[in-house]
Every structure is written in structure tokens, then in C-alpha cells.
Amino acid sequence: MASFRQNVRSSWWGRAVLTPWRLKNALTTTLPPVARSFAWTFRSREHYNYSYDLQPLNLEYLAAFVAAITGVPRKVARNYIGEIENDVALKDHVVRLNLSHKERFVADAEARFGRRMGWYALIRARKPRIVVETGVYKGLGSCAIAAALLRNAAEGSPGRLLALDINPEAGYLLTKPYSEVGQMFYGDSLASIAAIKMKWISSSMIAIIRPSMRPPKKS
């Protein structure tokens, strides 16, 4: 057997013999993602600013990141993330509005907060008085931010969300109870910030700024 293996590895015909084995290894690596892509294509309705779940290890890294930049213990940061993971009322709110809105055909009937759980934990840890979010889309992130602000307020640290978007139909998820601590501003973000900064922005502000995912307008 050892002689056969050596001949396979050192002869021209060995390459042909090993081809099926190499193909099996390649397909084992490449086919599962393709299968998942096809499944997602027909299962999900989203076509833009996709939502997703984080895996357990992702959540541990996220907690460590929040702890490192806010100074709270990692266990505390992980508990904050656990709050939004288990917030049934928030998830039901998102699902209900997604199913009833006119854009329900491009919205999934699930609440997947992904990176927004990090926003939630940051706000719970830092307890800012003002949060500015630019680029709202449906308002999934806005609801996550508002949920954190509502918990902060219940603990004696009130805050407010100023959500900015140029699309007048953005933010349809930001309704009561989350609109009690959040407000939409429509128009150019720079102009909106200039208009509101004297009234709202004075101290303890967190700015969550997302680059726009919309294609540039043609002139």
C-alpha cells in the first residue's frame, strides 16, 4: 500500500487517479454556500440592506468589542446583547408592521437585528442623551436604538433618537412605543443636522452613521 501511494504521488497517472478525490474535496467546500444561496434567494424577500442573525461566536466577539470601547465588563456587555436577543415585544412589533406595510413583499416576516445588537449594547452601556442615526431605511436599527433608550429611561437615564433619512417613506417601523423616544427627520442629512443641532445636540451624543447603500443619482 505504501508503494502504491508513492507511485500515485510521483507518476503522471497519479494525477488522473487523484482527480475524483480532489473534486470531492473542492465540492465539499464550494457546494454548501451555493446551496444556501439558492435557499436564501427563494426564502427571503429582502433585496436591499439585508438583515441577518449573528452566530454565538459572533455575539461573544461583539460583547468583547463593546466592553473594550465602553469600559463595561464583558459579561455586562453580553447581558445587554441578551436583552435585545430576548425582546419578544420588539420582535413582534417589527414582524407585525413588516407584514402589514405596503412594502411587505420586500420585507421578511422575521426580526433579525445582526450588527444592530451592537448599537443597542453601546447605547445601554454609554446611556447617551442624544443618538443621531443617518440612513434609516425601514427603521429596524431605529427600533433597536429606541428599545435601548426606553430601557435606559426606565433606569433613570433618558435619551432621545434623532433619525435622519432623505426618503420620506423611510422609518415606517418607528412607531409607538419606540417613537416615544425617537423622531424622524426627512431631507438631506447635513441640512437636517444643521437645522436640529441648536435644539437637540448639546452634550453626551452618540452618532451612528451608516454610508448610504443607495446607488448614486445620475445627473
Instruction: With respect to residue 27, please indicate whether it lies within any of the assigned structural domains.
Output: no
Cis peptide before 177 (omega within 30 of 0): yes
CA 105 to chain centre: 20
What does pTM read for this prediction? 0.83
Instruction: With respect to residue 26, please indicate whether it lies within any of the assigned structural domains.
Output: no
Instruction: With respect to residue 121, please indicate whether it lies within any of the assigned structural domains.
Output: yes
Instruction: With respect to residue 17, please indicate whether it lies within any of the assigned structural domains.
Output: no
Instruction: With respect to residue 5, please indicate whether it lies within any of the assigned structural domains.
Output: no
pLDDT at 197: 72
Burial class (CB in 10 A: 0-12, 13-18, 19+), 159: buried
Burial class (CB in 10 A: 0-12, 13-18, 19+), 10: exposed
Instruction: With respect to residue 12, please indicate whether it lies within any of the assigned structural domains.
Output: no
Instruction: With respect to residue 138, please indicate whether it lies within any of the assigned structural domains.
Output: yes
Name which of 135, 124, 137, 93 is nearest 111 in CA terms.
93
Whole-angstrom Cα distance, residue 77 to residue 187? 34
Whole-angstrom Cα distance, residue 216 to residue 214? 6
Whole-angstrom Cα distance, residue 39 to residue 152? 39
Higher pLDDT, residue 20 or 118: 118
Residue 160 and residue 135 in contact, taking contact as beta carbons nearer than 8 Å = no
Number of domains in the chain: 1
Look up the CATH number of the domain holding residue 75: 3.40.50
pLDDT of 209 strictly over 60: no
Distance between first and last Cα of the chain: 71
What range defines the domain where residue 148 resides? Answer: 56-209
Each residue's pLDDT tens digit, 94-124: 999 999 999 999 999 899 999 999 999 999 9
pLDDT category at 19 given cuts 50, 70, 90 is confident
Instruction: With respect to residue 201, please indicate whether it lies within any of the assigned structural domains.
Output: yes
Give the full edge-to-edge strand order of the sheet including 130-134.
Answer: 182-186, 160-165, 130-134, 205-209
Whole-angstrom Cα distance, residue 130 to residue 145? 11
pLDDT at 141: 95
Each residue's pLDDT tens digit, 185-208: 999 888 888 877 766 665 556 656
Each residue's pLDDT tens digit, 46-98: 988 899 999 999 999 999 999 999 999 999 999 999 999 999 999 999 999 99
